[in-house]
Amino acid sequence: MNEACAALKTVGTGKTPAVAHVVYISMGSNLGSRSANCAMAVDLLDATDGIRVTGRSKLFSTEPVDYTDQQWFVNGMVRVETLLSPPELLARLKEIERLVGRTASTIRFGPRVLDLDIVLFDDMVMAAENLVIPHPRMHRRRFVLAPFCDIDPEVVHPVLKKSMRELYDGLGPDGQAVLEYAQ
């Protein structure tokens, strides 16, 4: 293990070292250079002190859900190890969205340059005003589960007690189209 990895995994401030949390972050874009927006997000995450990208899915082209009158998305999943707390990580994700070009939208689930969501944070279950973990709709979203299954299909949802593969397979054949993204 190199020194940077060791520093991330065990940054000590005394007798008990801080241990990195394993977090899954969903990313999506349907404005501008969609795949480049996602790639920039991954680079910015990996460049953040206290965050190390440890896995990333392929990109998928996904039909929009909820608000369907918009261009298809490019979606992916990133696994990171972080020393940040959930609120600190959320603040960093919002900053990355802004840096990549996201602006406020009046359309819920509408077009966006970049969307980053914390899907799982270790086995944590929490509900705050601006952050719910696990993500409350992840188990119904092909655009989240397909990329998740690409990197870690056996990870178990901490509330539903099913693997990502079981959740994906349970969606059945109908619903949102998800295709491997061809650049």
Q: Which residues are within 8 A (CB) of 41 and not within 5 positions of it... i.e. 6 or more apart?
A: 27, 78, 96, 97, 100, 114, 116
Which of 52, 56, 79, 117 is an active site residue? 117
d(C-alpha 70, C-alpha 17), whole Å: 47
Query: Could you say which of 112, 141, 142, 152 is catalytic?
Result: 112
Partner residues linked to 19 by β-bridges = 10
Is 115 catalytic? The answer is yes
Clarify whether 174 is annotated catalytic.
no
* Given the residues 115, 141, 142, 150, the one annotated as active site: 115
Is residue 69 flagged as an active site residue? no
Element (H, E) at 96: helix 86-100
Cβ neighbors of 130 (< 8 A, separation 6 or more) are 90
The owner of tokens 């973990």 is: 133
Cα atoms found within 13 Å of the Cα of residue 46, Cβ hemisphere only = 13
Q: Does residue 102 have an active-site annotation?
A: yes
**Active-site entry in 52, 56, 92, 102:** 102
Name the residues annotated as catalytic: 102, 112, 115, 117
